[in-house]
Amino acid sequence: MKMSIKPVVSALGVSKNFGQVKALQDVSLTLGKGECLALVGHNGAGKSTLIKILLGLIPPTRGMVHVMGADVQKRGFKKCRQHIGFLPEQILFQKNMTGRELLLFYAKLKGAPGSQVNDLFRKFELEAAADYRISTYSKGMRQKLGLAQALLGEPEFLILDEPTSGLDPMARQKIYHILGEEKQKGTSILISSHVLTEIDDRVDRAVILNSGRVVGDGTLTGLTQQLAIQSRIVIEATPAACERIKTVFAHELDIQQTTQRHVVIHCEQARKVPILNSIYALGIQFSDIRIIDPTLEEIFGAYMHMDRGGANG
Ligand SMILES: Nc1ncnc2c1ncn2[C@@H]1O[C@H](COP(=O)(O)OP(=O)(O)OP(=O)(O)O)[C@@H](O)[C@H]1O
């Protein structure tokens, strides 16, 4: 028997107008089980509007949205919402409450067992602060508490709006480690972010929004290939070896000598391996060789450029 695996999120032809403002225009996207999707866009691109529609908080002007099989505009979606964890961009807590009081409050709202609260304090290494007032928490601790709140009830779908903005590298790493564990469990995650460098290697796919429209949707490799953005091969070798590499490849490749001991070859993704093989075949001694693939930041920039009518690539 053929099994059909329904996406956790399916949005089809979604538009949203606020008066004259077209916040979203014909947006379609899907999110599969256990998939981590980045929603990327400048301020005002429509990310928050899309999130509000996915949560069933505002209706789309046009289009259909199903989350976990339920139409977000229908009554039945209320039950599904219990299985969604949401971390807003700016979560405001009642600062006089302790962390534990806050999580117990949310656990009751979500119908989650109180025992999860202790587990989450342990997971986020916040046990020692659990009974302190939130007013004494640092920004990183408040953000962890916000994410702990989102994880209450073991949601199947997590929506995180700028989950690590303003956090130090240690706190960011901790949060992404926990999100990795959630993904392993099969939780689907949508991360909205401008801080592209840090989500780069943590997402399966990215949807790029510009002025309310989807201008790119795919894996990082797929998005890169569509635009033919180039990778860089950086070779560190003796000045003589650098000279030899330049002589051999200059006629067919975009190659630059950046220092006496470094040459950089710019090439399409598909050519990386053949070029590396050719370099090895020269029998040249080199002290280091690195491949730098385009970052999500570069891909995003290229899509924005293209959407403004710039040249492809
Ligand atoms: N309630 C509203 N009434 C009128 N216009 C709105 C409303 N909400 C959003 N907009 C407009 O819709 C557009 C998309 O806004 P949205 O908040 O979804 O963008 P965003 O990508 O989340 O931006 P940011 O990263 O700054 O949060 C913007 O032009 C915004 O001014």
With a Cβ cut-off of 6 Å, ligand 1 is lined by 18, 21, 23, 41, 43-49
Q: Identify the domain boundary among 186, 217, 248.
A: 217
Flag whether 304 is in a domain: no
Domain span at residue 250 reads 230-293
In a domain? residue 310: no
Query: Given this model, what pLDDT does residue 58 score?
Result: 95
Asked if residue 313 is part of any domain, the answer here is no
- Cα of 49 from ligand 1 centre, angstroms: 6
Residues 163 and 28 in one domain: yes
Give yes or no: residues 234 and 260 share one domain.
yes
Which structure tokens are listed for 25? 């225009």
- Asked if residue 171 and residue 96 are part of one domain, the reply reads yes
Domain assignment of residue 157, yes or no = yes
Instruction: Report the complex ipTM.
Output: 0.97
Among 39, 48, 58, which is best to mutate for testing ligand 1, by the most ligand atoms less than 8 A from CB? 48
* Residue 269 within any structural domain of the chain: yes
26 and 53 co-located in one domain: yes
What single letter denotes the amino acid at residue 24?
L
What CATH number does the domain containing 270 carry? 3.30.70.120
Note the pLDDT of residue 192: 92
The closest-lying atom of ligand 1 relative to the alpha carbon of residue 194 is 25
| 15, 16, 17, 18, best to mutate for ligand 1 pocket (most atoms within 8 Å of CB) | 18
Q: Please check whether residue 28 lies inside any domain of the structure.
A: yes
Residue 301 lies in a domain: no
pLDDT, position 2: 46
- Same domain, residue pair 167 and 266: no
**How far apart are the CA of 121 and the centre of ligand 1, in A?**
34
> What CATH number does residue 15 fall under?
3.40.50.300
In sequence order, the 6+-apart residues with CB closer than 8 A to the CB of 277 are none
**pLDDT score, position 313:** 38
Mutation choice for ligand 1 from 17, 40, 47, 90, CB with most ligand atoms inside 8 A: 47
Same domain assignment for residues 93 and 33: yes
Are 21 and 164 part of one and the same domain?
yes
Same domain, 169 and 29: yes
- Please check whether residue 287 lies inside any domain of the structure: yes
| pLDDT per residue as tens digits for the range 259-294 | 999 999 999 878 888 999 998 898 988 899 999 888
Which atom of ligand 1 has the smallest separation from the CA of 50? 18
Q: Name the pTM for this structure.
A: 0.84
The pLDDT, as a whole number, for residue 31 is 96
Domains contained in the chain, number: 2
Ligand 1 atom index nearest CA of 58: 1
Atom of ligand 1 nearest to the CA of 209: 21
Kindly give the number of the ligand 1 atom that is closest to the alpha carbon of 24.
14
For atom 5 of ligand 1, the residue with the nearest CA is: 18
Q: Are residues 213 and 235 in the same domain?
A: no
Residues 31 and 162 in one domain: yes
User: Which of 163, 191, 217 is at the close of a domain?
Assistant: 217
Whether 154 and 250 share a structural domain:
no
149 and 197 belong to one structural domain: yes
Give the pLDDT of residue 4: 53
Tens digit of each residue's pLDDT, the chain (313 residues):
444 568 999 999 999 999 999 999 999 999 999 999 999 998 899 999 999 999 999 999 999 999 999 999 998 888 888 899 999 987 778 878 999 999 999 999 888 998 999 999 999 999 999 999 999 998 888 999 999 999 999 999 999 998 887 788 888 888 889 999 999 999 999 999 877 777 777 889 999 999 999 999 998 888 887 877 888 999 999 999 999 999 998 898 899 999 999 999 999 878 888 999 998 898 988 899 999 888 888 888 888 887 776 544 3
Atom of ligand 1 nearest to the CA of 19: 4
Cα 86 to averaged position of ligand 1 atoms, centre (Å)? 18
- Ligand 1 centroid – CA 178 distance (Å): 29
